[in-house]
A = this chain, B = another copy of it.
Amino acid sequence: MSSVPGYQTDKADVLARLRRVEGQVRGIARMVDEDTYCIDVLTQVSAATRALESVALLLLHDHVSHCVVDAAREGGDEAQHKVDELTRAVGRLVRS
């Protein structure tokens, strides 16, 4: 396993998105604290969920682009291990 993660070149973007999600979640807590109407809170929870999923897709893209593709090029059993690991990660993402 390399010490350089697949998202290395997108690191600033990933961090910026996570900061934004953190702000969204804090904003939702503020809405709840101020007794905002349930459906308006729910809409923001859905938006934050979608934002997290789009971070996941970016991480996934970078992981396959670098970690999986590199393992495939190096040959050996590592590529297959990486594919199994990736499939389980996508499974957790779609929760099937």
Return the contact of A15 from the options B32, B42, B61, B67 (Cβ within 8 A).
B32
User: Which residues of B have CB within 8 Å of A52?
Assistant: 25, 45, 48-49, 52
Fill in one digit per residue for A42-55: 1 if any B CB lies within 8 Å of its CB, else 0.
Answer: 11011011101111
Secondary structure at the A interface, as helix, strand, loop or mixed, is: helix
User: Which residues of B have CB within 8 Å of A1?
Assistant: 37
- Please, how many angstroms separate the alpha-carbon atoms of A19 and B11 in the complex? 25
Interface residues of A (CB under 8 A from B): 1, 3-8, 11, 14-15, 18-19, 21-22, 25-26, 28-29, 32-33, 35-39, 41-43, 45-46, 48-50, 52-57, 59-65, 67-70, 72-73, 75, 79-80, 83-87, 89-96
